[in-house]
Amino acid sequence: MTRATRTPVRVALIGYGLAGRVFHAPLIDAEPRLSLCMVATRDPARAEAVRTGLPQVDVVPPDVALAHPDIDLVVVASPHDSHAPLARAALDAGKHVVVDKPFTLSLAEARELRDLATRQGRLLSVFQNRRWDSDFLALRHAVEAGLIGRPLHLESRFERFRPEVRDRWRERDDGAGGVWWDLGPHLVDQALCLMGVPEQVQASFARQREGAGAIDWAHVVLDFGHARAILQAGLMAAGGGPRFLLHGDRGSVVKHGSDLQEQQLASGLRPDDTGWGTDPDAPIHFAGDGVRGALPAVGGDQSRYYRGIASALLDGARNPVPPGQAVAVMAVLEAAIASARDGRTATLALDTRERQAFESG
């Protein structure tokens, strides 16, 4: 990859909805080696929000941001069905690219972008910010410390309580909306980080809310041969289940409370502020001999993603979420859709090299 040649790296953000406004803009701003120079949007209300909240940033149409000679890195945080074409255009223009999840809407597009970035010698990364959530880090630390031994059974939930159907693109049945495209990428990415790439996928999807257009409930089982991961996403869960449950051959870990960074960012808290990423809910460890005890709570810090992007561009450090890993996640997402549609177990359409790309980083 050709490195960036100037500090700070000049960034254009395409999209200023929830993802762009709540996550990307403040997390980019928290990294001193990155400079958010442009926000691209065609929505007048969002353009005004940028001018009010980020007066130092230029508001431009997407085509201007993609072609501008002063931009080094393009961040794509627009609706899901625009991710692939915008990322492709940015790479063709010689830019480094970050794409919000989901990376693309098909495995073929994911492979195309991976290969294009290689040919262009540009960084391509996917914004899997939930790798730096406090709840996931607590689970990962427990595994790395050997507290549960070999992971055998994972349960992971991303659930909300939003009983009213809203007229927005995320909830339309147009191939890009629905809970699996919205929350599934997080669930899959975290499971693969903990347990590797599965062999098969079995899924069931549903529309539970009256008047729902897109899928609003998903239950997906990843088959690793010796182990299983159960992934659950839905919009009609007022509470109850733990965020994570992990059993191994030496013990178990349960994590009930979810990471708070999304709420913190939405309320205006920033990575340098007191209380950022703190988690008051300690995970519980069950040892094989029956001893139960609380583990130290782990603080989350999603700003580590853009810290990693800056280090990759300027210092040649490892890409925090390389496209090979995003291709593997896309294969699982696609296999789950096929499984739910056909009522059968689906096998991942990955070759040996693609499986190794995720496992080796």
Considering the domain architecture, whether residues 34 and 106 belong to the same structural domain is answered as: yes
Residue span of the structural domain in which 92 resides? 9-130+306-319
Considering the domain architecture, whether residues 144 and 261 belong to the same structural domain is answered as: yes
Considering the domain architecture, whether residues 199 and 79 belong to the same structural domain is answered as: no
Q: What is the mean pLDDT of residues 163-181?
A: 89
Q: Is residue 2 part of a domain?
A: no
Look at 13-17, 160-164, 237-241, 357-361 and tell me which has the smallest mean pLDDT: 357-361
Considering the domain architecture, whether residues 257 and 311 belong to the same structural domain is answered as: no
Considering the domain architecture, whether residues 197 and 311 belong to the same structural domain is answered as: no
Residue-wise pLDDT for 289-334, tens only, equals 989 999 999 999 999 999 999 999 999 999 999 999 999 999 999 9
Q: Is residue 141 part of a domain?
A: yes
Residue-wise pLDDT for 194-225, tens only, equals 999 999 999 999 999 999 999 999 999 999 99
Considering the domain architecture, whether residues 310 and 256 belong to the same structural domain is answered as: no
Considering the domain architecture, whether residues 79 and 168 belong to the same structural domain is answered as: no
Residue-wise pLDDT for 62-113, tens only, equals 999 999 999 999 999 999 999 999 999 999 999 999 999 999 999 999 999 9
Considering the domain architecture, whether residues 176 and 238 belong to the same structural domain is answered as: yes
Q: What is the mean pLDDT of residues 226-252?
A: 96
Residue-wise pLDDT for 21-76, tens only, equals 999 999 999 999 999 999 999 999 999 999 999 999 999 999 999 999 999 999 99
- CATH number of the domain that 99 lies in? 3.40.50.720
Q: Which residue has the higher pLDDT, 119 or 172?
A: 119
Considering the domain architecture, whether residues 58 and 154 belong to the same structural domain is answered as: no
Q: Is residue 326 part of a domain?
A: no
Considering the domain architecture, whether residues 142 and 94 belong to the same structural domain is answered as: no
Give the pLDDT band (50/70/90) at residue 20: very high
Count of domains in the chain? 2
Considering the domain architecture, whether residues 245 and 110 belong to the same structural domain is answered as: no
3-class secondary structure per residue, the chain: CCCCCCCCEEEEEECCCHHHHHHHHHHHHCCCCEEEEEEECCCHHHHHHHHHHCCCCEEECHHHHHHCCCCCEEEECCCHHHHHHHHHHHHHCCCEEEEECCCCCCHHHHHHHHHHHHHHCCCEEEECHHHHCHHHHHHHHHHHCCCCCCEEEEEEEEECECCCCCCCHHHCCCCCCCHHHHHHHHHHHHHHHHHCCCCEEEEEEECCCCCCCCCCEEEEEEECCCCEEEEEEECECCCCCCCEEEEECCEEEEECCCCCHHHHHHHCCCCCCCCCCCCCCCCEEEECCCCEEECCCCCCCCHHHHHHHHHHHHHCCCCCCCHHHHHHHHHHHHHHHHHHHHCCCEECCCCHHHHHHHHHC
- Is the pLDDT at 361 greater than 80, yes or no? no
Considering the domain architecture, whether residues 176 and 278 belong to the same structural domain is answered as: yes
Q: Is residue 275 part of a domain?
A: yes
